Structures are given as structure tokens and as C-alpha cells.
Chain A
Amino acid sequence: MHNKTDKDATYEELTIGGNIYTAGNAKSFKTGDWRSKTPEYIVENCKQCGLCFNVCPDDAIPVKEDLKRRDFDYDACKGCGVCAKVCPFKAIEMK
């Protein structure tokens, strides 16, 4: 009782007042559908300089152990365009 936060939970199952009792739950909150413009990753132009993922406010540019970026995480990207602005190599294009 009163211990769930998922979208199917009834009012008797949801936590009181919408409190969240687990840490790190931002991962499960998909903000990608807020996006009106979408960044496109142009791999052949990318020099892996590392500027773009540092400025992303949503951690929407995944970087693996090899310290190289991958394609965008569109579940998290809100389309703010900051990454495209800082890219010196035209490797990100807003569409």
C-alpha cells in the first residue's frame, strides 16, 4: 500500500503526495518527447574532441569506456541544441 510510483498504480497504491523513495529515478523519466528540434550525429565529421557531451544538460550523449561518444539517447535529449552550437566540426546538425 502506498509504495508505488508507476503509471498504472491506483490512488491506494501510489506513494502519499507523490513522494519518491528511491534514488536515481530520473533515468526512468523520459524527457525526449519534449523535443521540438532533433540533433543529428554526423559520424564522418566527428573528431571525438569531447566538447559536446560535457555541455549536454541531460546526459543524452552516451560515452563508453573508450571515451568515445555514441549516437544520441533520444529518450533523454530535449533538443536544446547546445551540443550543435559547441561542435567545431559540423558533426551535429539540428533538424
Chain B
Amino acid sequence: MGIRERLSGNEAAAIAMKQINPDVVAAFPITPSTEIPQYFSTFVSNGEVDTEFVAVESEHSAMSACIGAQAAGGRAMTATSANGLSLMWEMIYIASSLRLPIVMSLVNRAVSGPLNIHNDHSDAMGVRDSGWIQLFSENNQEAYDNLIMAHRIAEHKDVLLPLMVCQDGFITSHSIENIELIEDDKVKEFVGKYQPEHYLLNDKEPIAVGPLDLQGYLFEHKVQQAEAMRKAKDVILEVAKDFEKMTGRKYGLFEEYKMEDAELVVVCMNSTAGTTKATVDELRAKGVKAGLLKIRVFRPFPAEEVAKALTKAKAVAVLDKADSLNAVGGALFEDVVSGMFVSKVNVPTVNYIYGIGGRDTTVQDIESVYNDLSKIVENGDIGNPYRYLGVRGDK
């Protein structure tokens, strides 16, 4: 039996980091993730962790310090949001291509401009093709659990990829909810000791990391990354199984909520899944066969599995909390529908861009999506597949 607590998402992430006790944490404050390194530095000052805390002067340096520490043979962690992640951009790709299993807590926030500090997923979507594993979390419990599972996934010999655990800025990061923590010793045992096969501080094996990689090599090294990302799916499920044995909490690539007989399905990520569950319950009480497919693992994207789960639906709405500004639709929508097309799953599917810059998304909003879906089923006509939810002047 775990420890019952009530914590904000940021507190939960900081406590997970304390229990993991990494060798190095390098971070720079940025709203709304600031509290994570703030709480963590308190743990460092109080001697509750053995971590070397590097108070860097920018996020570019935060990621650079993590890369140096991880390549040296240590376990490195960081936390950031939005423009902080943007400033890391160059090093984000270096981390993944050097195959360094760094773990980041990403508290999702709109990437400016115009200046906005509130939640959407434009930061995470900006690095969706950078070779990082991306886990999304509905609430503080999932943000905590995903972090506890993170190192086992990232450091697995078949994976060796950096990993970011996403949670919604303010909505999750600053809201206090009940949570069940795992005992320190159990976390320590579960996460295990970091034992890299090759590392810079090994005096018995002098190595070079990140050499010049021209026409004769880069292609093969990118295929290695792609292969690791494909293999990560199985590893994520293996680790989830062990986690379930320890906590009783079950995790998959995605969560299916009342999907057994669902005809109208919403696909979304992070905290909106909670709002959608409440909507599904209300609609079910009225006899509407509503269901939710909540993506937990966005990278690697479980295209085949998602398509299979949507086979029996009559209409699907994919909710994107970031607009791709490509005149086609959001990133999640494109991944879902391309997965469906390849698996020959032909269900009418539409996209909603919603919640941009922290715009509140209520049960009523989600209910309107299900209403739209039932009209699509009635008329057999999709209409405009690229829609907005909760914007003024929408036609």
C-alpha cells in the first residue's frame, strides 16, 4: 500500500525526482515548470538527495549540462516549459542522436507569441519528431507514475532514447489533487542503478561521443534511432507490467474509457481526458454510446493499435491542443488518420483544435463535440474535417 498524499503536479514531479535521486539535475526556471527545480533544489540543500544541482544560465545550457552528465555516465534530469524547450531545441536533437537517456519533465505551455504562459501542447508538438519518447499524463498521479517508469524505458538497451513526461501547465501542474506515492525504497529498487555500457568517465575504455557523421554514416544512425523508437513500444509495455505489479496501477500505450461498445469516440491527451471522462459518463446516463481513447504514448505513436481500437466506432473526433498551421489539421489528428488509413479503418474522423493558450475547455464543450459526431453519423457527411472548439467567430 502506497502513501496517500495531496500534491500539485509540479510537487508530484519533484517528489518523483527526489525518489529517483539522479546524479545531475540541470534546469532553468520558466513558468509553469519553475516549481519543479525550485522544490528539487530544496531537497538538494536539505541533503535529501545526492544530486549535483547545476543552476545554469539558460535552457540551452540546461540541456547541454544534461548531455555532458549523461555522456559521462551519470543519470541526468531536467524540467522545462514552452520557450524554455524552444531554447533547448538544438540540444534536444543532440541528446537523442547521441542516444542519451535523459529524462525531462515537460510542463506543457503555449509557445509564444504573442506572449502566453498558459497551457496548450505547442511546446511538445514542436519536438515531436526529435527522437524523444513522449508520455502524456492526465493528472498528477500519472505525471508521477510516468516519471517513475521513465528511466527503465529510456535506459533499456533496446531503446537508449531520451524521454519527456508531459503534463498540462497550471491545470495539472498547479492543481492539488489526491495522489498515491510509492515508498522510497520501492522506487529505488524499481528504478535501479544506472549502468551504461559505454561512458566517457570509464578510464578502461577511452571513447569519442558525437563524432563527425557525414554522408557515409548519418543515414544509418538515423535508422538506428527509428529502430529504437519502434522497439520502445514493447519496452514501455514491459515496464508498465512491472509497475502494475508494484502499485496495482495499469498503464498501456493508451487508455480506453468505455470503448467496448462506443460509437462516438473522442481521442485526446493530458488533462482534457479527465473532462472527457466526465462528459462520457453524463452522455452514457442519457443512453449515448460515447467513448474516449486517451493517448498516453505519443512518441512512439501506436498507430496500428489506435486504428484497431477505433474499428468499431461510427465517428471519431481527434482533439489537438496545438494547431499545426499547415492548413490540414493538428499533429495528433494526422497521426491518427494516417494510422487508420494504413490499417484500412474507414471511420468518419474530424479534427478539433481546442484550448489554445489556456482557453478553458468544459464538459459542455466536449459534449458539443459528441453532438457533432452524432450529426455526422446521422447525415453521413463529415463536412469540414478541420474544426475549432471554443473560438470566437467560428463558422
Contact = CB atoms under 8 A, between A and B. Distances in A.
Given A16-B99, A17-B99, A11 B205 contact: no
Main secondary structure of the interface of B (DSSP, over half): loop
Contact of A19 (B198, B216, B223, B227): B198
Contact of A16 (B211, B213, B216, B224): B224
A93 to B, nearest CB: 31
A16 B213 CA distance: 12
B159 to A, nearest CB: 11
A7 interface: yes
Nearest to A2: B224
B205 A21 contact: yes
A91 B345 CA distance: 76
Category for how many chain A residues contact B: 10 to 19
Contact of A21 (B198, B216, B221, B227): B198
Contacts of B220: 9-11, 14
A23 B206 contact: yes
A19 B206 CA distance: 11
Interface in A22-71: 23, 25
B224 A14 contact: yes
B98 A17 contact: yes
Contact of A17 (B205, B221, B223): B221
Nearest to B206: A23
Task: Find the residue from B97, B160, B213, B224 having the highest chain A CB count within 10 A.
Answer: B224
Contacts of A17: 97-99, 160, 209-210, 221, 224
Contact of A18 (B205, B206, B213, B223): B213
A94 interface: no
B217 A14 contact: yes
A23 B203 CA distance: 12
A86 interface: no
Given A7-B216, A11-B221, A11-B227, A18 B210 contact: yes
Nearest to A20: B208
B223 A11 contact: yes
B115 interface: no
Contacts of A23: 206
B97 to A, nearest CB: 6
Contacts of B97: 17
Given A7-B216, A11-B227, A19 B221 contact: no
A21 B207 CA distance: 5
Of listed B206, B208, B216, B223, residue having the most chain A CB within 10 A: B208
A48 B97 CA distance: 47
Chain B CB within 10 Å, residue with most, of A10, A14, A19, A21 = A19
A7 B209 CA distance: 18
Given A21-B198, A23-B206, A16 B223 contact: no
6 closest Cβ contacts across the A-B interface? A11-B220, A20-B208, A17-B99, A11-B223, A23-B206, A18-B213
